[in-house]
Every structure is written in structure tokens, then in C-alpha cells.
Amino acid sequence: MNGSPSQGVDRTGAQVSDNQSDLVILGGGSGGYAAALRAAELGKSVVLIEKDKVGGTCLHRGCIPTKALLHAGEIADQARESETFGVRTSFEGIDMAGVHKYKDGVVSKNHKGLTGLIRSRGIEIVEGEGRLVAPRTVQVGGDTYTGTNVVLATGSYSRSLPGLDVDGERVITSEHALTLDHVPESAIVLGGGVIGCEFASAWTSFGAKVTIVEALPHLLPTEDEANSKQLERAFRRRKIDFKLGARFAGVERTGSGVTVTLESGETLSAELLLVAVGRGPVSAGLGYEEQGVRIERGFVVTDEYLRTSVDGVYAVGDLISINGGPHLQLAHVGFAEGIQVAEHIAGLPVAPIDYAGVPRITYSQPEVASVGLSEALAAEKYGADAITTVTYDLSGNGRSAILNTKGAVKLVAAKDGPVLGVHIVGDRVGELIAEAQLIYNWEALPGEVAALIHPHPTQSEAIGEAHLLLAGKPLHVHD
């Protein structure tokens, strides 16, 4: 249990009350609250400090509200296309007030449930902005909280580009996009990664004309190239424009919106510009470096066990760079890291996370889902002659035909060895990637997966069919 507070003074001479506990967590997002819940389960006294609302970016400004918008867009598309299925209906437009009521209701329900769960575990929630003032002490206002261990979990923010000022009106980030009171007539999306593609998809479903500007050669540039090309074909069918290998040069605000200039000299005009060029770590001004925490490019550097350079201080989530390398900024990664840290602190045996084995999903229409290595990364790691690939087209899948979706399952495998990567495109395929995660992480052989009987008619059969093909005994596949 938390110890009795002791009295002292801060560096300005003001009275402060120090509260002792086993674990102090700075940041109540996915990684922070997961660490709190698991540590409490393990009998630790926990203080969770959050300046906004528990749940963090994911629940309030990221995963949950954006997927609610995407689902509203899916309903709009279904209304437009209902005659394809013999259903007569009419589409009268988007009521953004109604969309927000639905979206905010989902967020509120989840937030209330999460808050109740945290309090039920005996975790003390401290509302306020915290700062690391000693290696294992966080100050919030006039109080300090000292733990046997500390977890830094302060998350990330929407980045911009040098010289590109976000005004929240004509030039916006995803946070602003989530609260727009109308559907923009047109939009330019700067960045063809996950966030950019999801908003481009949702706005197109709502009726906006969207153009994506991406500096790299493909949309979703970290995905297997085959997945990227499948998405690009789907976006062309949906009349979503995109400029690939196009670098941003500048933006001018006009009476009717914005004009974006590319380095090639080409100009694009729209009602607004969404800046979706990634997320940066929230670490500045929080006392980390002053207390000896190693920082690189704003990220807190940890080892594979998520320990920082300061003894007893861990870090999780979007904030970190593991051994100075890139790190997946995903809510479910934060959950896993929070659990790992809590168990490591409790002295339980833990294995470092294999980040290649973490499922990745883009919730556009169609969805893009993957786990494991892309063909390019597998060839780089094992040699091009040591791997093999197959692709199973969803046109052979009955459930996908019922849903009227196009796409494919691509497998990357070691020759005469395990599956190294699973890459899928199609509506609702994000629900398939959990099975693919087991295949990759358990180093399954193609024949072992091919022997599993998948229920018919489901999209999951596409996983089985792809492995039948890889095992040399294809079923619903044309020669």
C-alpha cells in the first residue's frame, strides 16, 4: 500500500508533500495504464499520473475515434452501394454532429470502463502534469511521488515539418481532423502512412475529394510492396488521388483554402491540408535529461527490457527507442510493454518482445494487415535465394465474394522452413491477422498450417488456402 506522505520543500522553497509507493507511472496512455494494472495484480502499490484523461492518445485522439469515423464511412459506402446487393435505399449525406455523437459515445463508454477498472485495482490516479525531479521522483504541483521504480510513458504528438505551421483551421493534424464540424469539400493529405491513408479513406467515404502526397515511392512505405500496390489500386478505384515520390515545398493559405507547392513545382489546391508525417516523442521539458535519462532525437533510449540509462527507471510506448533503433508506435505494443515492465519489476522471467511478430493494421478501405517480415526484409536477412513467396487472390474466397471485396494473402517463407511473413489486403482482413501472428511467432511450417481446417465460408479460409498453395497442394487456385 502507499506509504504516508512526508513533508519537504522544492527548489523554490515551497512546501511539498512526498508520497511513497512501489511504482510511479508518468503517463496514463496504453503503456502506462497497462503497467499499472499488471503491477497492481502482482501486489504492487501504484501511482498513475496523467495530465489529461487515462487512455491517452489511443482512446481519446487516435485509435478508437478514428476507427469510429472509418466505420461511419463504411456505413455511408454501404448505403450508396446497397443496390449491388438488391437493397433499395437512399443516401442523404453525412450529419457530422451525429457522427461525433456516435464517436464520442464510444470513447466515453470506454473511458468510463477503463477508469473504473483502474480504481477497482486500488491504483491511485493523480490528475496533473508531472515532471521527473529526481531519478525516482515525479512532482505534480505541490506534491511529489517517489517510487521504488518509475515508468516513463508520456507518449507522442503529431509532428509537422520544419517551417510548416499548423493553425488548426486550414492546416491541421489528426487531432483537429477528429473534431471537424463538417465534411471538407476537398483535402490534401501530407503523408501516405497509416494515419494519412486512414483519413483519406474516411473522408472519401464521407464525400470529400482527397489527394495524398507521399515522399517515398509507395503508400504505406513500411509494408510489403505488394500490399502497398494492392492499396494503391484500390484507392485508384475509389478515385483517391496520390502523388508518390513527391516532396512538399510549401503551403499558402488562400481565401478558399490552401495551395500546396511540391518540389517539382506542381501545385495542388484544396479546402485544407492534413499534416500526417508521423508522431514525435513527448519528452521535452519533463526533466528526463536532467536526471540522467539518455535521450536521442527526443526519444528515451531503452534496452530490450525497456530499462533506461537510470537504474530503476523504465520507459514504454511511443516515447521510446530500443537501443537507438526505430520502434513501432502502436497501442497494442504499449500494452505489451507495460505488462513486460510490470513483470520485470516484480522479478518474473520475461522475454524481450520480437517486434517483427507484432500485427500491424491500416483500417482503410480496403484494410491492410501484416505480421512478420516483408519479402524485401526477408531477402535482406536470409538471402533472396533462401526464401519463397506465394500469393492467394481473394477472388477464390467465397466470403470475400459475398462481401464484394478484392485483395490477396501473400506469404513469405524460408525454403523448406517456417513462414516468415503474412501480408493481407481486403475488407475486414484486420480480423485475420491474429491467426497469422500465431503462425509467425510459433515458426509454423506451411504444411502444419495447411493441415488445419478453416470454417467455410469465412475469409479465414484464405489463410488456409495460401498455406495449401505454399505447401504444394493448392485447392481453389487456378494454374
Distance CA 349, CA 180 (A): 47
- Give 3-state DSSP helix, strand, coil % of the chain, rounded to 5: 35, 25, 40
Distance CA 77, CA 364 (A): 13
Nearest to 317 by CA among 295, 300, 342, 292: 300
**Are residues 64 and 48 in contact, defined by beta-carbon separation less than 8 angstroms?**
no
Please, which residues have CB within 8 angstroms of residue 101's CB and are 6 or more apart in sequence?
A: none
Nearest to 337 by CA among 312, 306, 359: 306
Is the Cα dihedral 444, 449, 452, 455 positive or negative? positive
Distance CA 436, CA 432 (A): 7
| 3-class secondary structure, 332 | helix
Distance CA 278, CA 259 (A): 22
**Are residues 388 and 382 in contact, defined by beta-carbon separation less than 8 angstroms?**
no
Phi, psi of 111 (to 5 degrees): -65, -45
Distance CA 159, CA 278 (A): 6
Helix (H) or strand (E) holding 300, with range, is strand 299-302
What does 115-140 look like in DSSP terms, one character per residue?
Answer: HHHHHHTTPEEEES-EEEEETTEEEE
Q: Is 456 a catalytic residue?
A: yes
Helix (H) or strand (E) holding 244, with range, is strand 241-244
Q: Which amino acid is at 18?
A: D
Is the Cα dihedral 278, 298, 58, 127 positive or negative? negative
Q: How remote is the C-alpha of 243 from its chain's centroid?
A: 23
What does 408-441 look like in DSSP terms, one character per residue?
Answer: EEEEEEETTS-EEEEEEEETTGGGGHHHHHHHHH
| 3-class secondary structure, 197 | helix
> Which residue of the set 71, 176, 423, 456 is catalytic?
456
Catalytic residues: 456
